Amino acid sequence: MELLPSAWIEVLVMIQVYILAAVYVLKELLFEATNQGVKKRLENEIRNSHAIRSSCKKNVLITGADGTIGREVVRKLLRYDFTVHALVGDRRKAKELFASLNGSKLPLTLYEVDLADPHEVAKFAHGFLGRCTELSVVVLCAGTMLVPLKFVNNVEAHMCVNVVSQALLLHLLDPLMTSETRITALSSATANVAFFSSSLLQDPLSYYVGPYEAYCFSKLLLSVYVEELARQRAQSIVTVHPGVIPGTLYRHTNTFIKFATYFILPSFLRSPSFSALLIAHTTLRDDQIAGSYYEDCVPKMLVRLSEQEKLAIFKTVKRQVEEWTRIED
């Protein structure tokens, strides 16, 4: 496969993405159909978890909080009595989204931050250190998919938003985290179909052959980075596949896919609310395995990379984070 032209790699990855999506739609329908009472069980396990009962400050930071899944995660954690600090792309639109929650009376603060701009991320983080004393939970919901080719300081756009900017955020906000802090990043099962070759390790953050491969490859790097980061940080950090959800992530797909996603498939796809419940459960569960990738409450093995390859990816992301850490406001 290394000898294939870039265009063929992109086509093959795209085909695999849609086949995988069909498989996961059926798999997720089966999971919910064969687990009657699963919602009640997950809710009970969350409310009885040590993470909920032992948390004093109960501050949570959520990125991508105005996305389809992110907004449901906000609602879910507000119901668990967390004070929510939500990063959004457009504060005015986000206020409208959360208006039904009677937001002015809720412990919810919105921050407009463009994760495609490391300057904005750094500026927010430096200011947030003075506003918050401790974070109990961090949920990284932000993500972008199939965006046009663009580079930010030589980092490809999917890599910037899905990986490096959120890694930068974790790095800069480390003073607010304790050994009890839980961190969850939204990955994707599509990481399994990303094309990978050891030759890509020379410059993985600027690698681009097409939007489908760019998205899948960014999710692969995110999961690998989290797996390695979990070995070095005191906090418990994991990744999770939230399910196939009809939402804003598909806004850059073609007209046919958008029509099918928004008008035909919603009754067959996982609801954003149930996805948020799974994310909350994965984040707060007592038996969480740090560094793992979860699907439907179960830790799974992603594509097999050697330990040397994983470490090389981790070091590359870490170097980029350290470089962006030096960005001045």
Q: What is the pLDDT of residues 240-275, one digit of tens each?
A: 999 999 888 888 788 888 888 888 888 889 999 999
Domain ranges of the chain: 6-325
Tell me, what DSSP letter sits at residue 251?
A: T
In angstroms, the CA 323 to CA 28 distance is 40
Q: What is the pLDDT of residues 159-204, one digit of tens each?
A: 999 999 999 999 999 999 999 999 999 999 999 999 999 999 999 9
Is the pLDDT at 3 greater than 80, yes or no?
A: no
Per-residue pLDDT at 320: 98
Rounded average pLDDT over 80-100 = 91
Max mean pLDDT range (26-30, 236-240, 323-327): 236-240
In angstroms, the CA 241 to CA 119 distance is 29
Q: Structurally, what CATH architecture does the domain formed by 6-325 represent?
A: 3-Layer(aba) Sandwich (3.40)
Per-residue pLDDT at 82: 95
Per-residue confidence at 105, pLDDT binned at 50, 70, 90? confident
In angstroms, the CA 139 to CA 76 distance is 12
Q: What is the pLDDT of residues 17-33, one digit of tens each?
A: 999 999 999 999 999 88
At 289, list the tokens. Answer: 């395995």
Is the pLDDT at 95 greater than 90, yes or no?
A: no
At 166, list the tokens. Answer: 């959120």
234 to 175, 177, 180, 237, 314: CA distances (angstroms):
12, 9, 8, 9, 17
Is the pLDDT at 1 greater than 50, yes or no?
A: no
Residue given tokens 């989290």 in the structure block: 226
Rounded average pLDDT over 41-55 = 91
Per-residue pLDDT at 104: 60
CA 72 from chain center: how many Å? Answer: 14
Per-residue pLDDT at 324: 97
Three-class secondary structure of residue 327 per DSSP:
coil
